[in-house]
Structure 1
Amino acid sequence: MSLFVKDPQARVDHAIDWSAYLAGQSLVASLWTVSPVETGGLVVEANAFEAQRSSVRLNGGVAGRIYRLTNRVTLSDGQVDERSVTMRVEER
Structure 2
Amino acid sequence: MMTFLQNFRVAIVCLSHRSINKIGFVQREVKFTLDVAEEQPEGSIFIIPAKLEECDIPQRLHQSQWVNLYEQDGYKRLLLALRVRAKAFTITE
TM-score interval (norm. to shorter): under 0.3
TM-score of the aligned structures, taking structure 1 as reference length: 0.24
More helix by share: 2
TM-score of the aligned structures, taking structure 2 as reference length: 0.23
More strand by share: 1
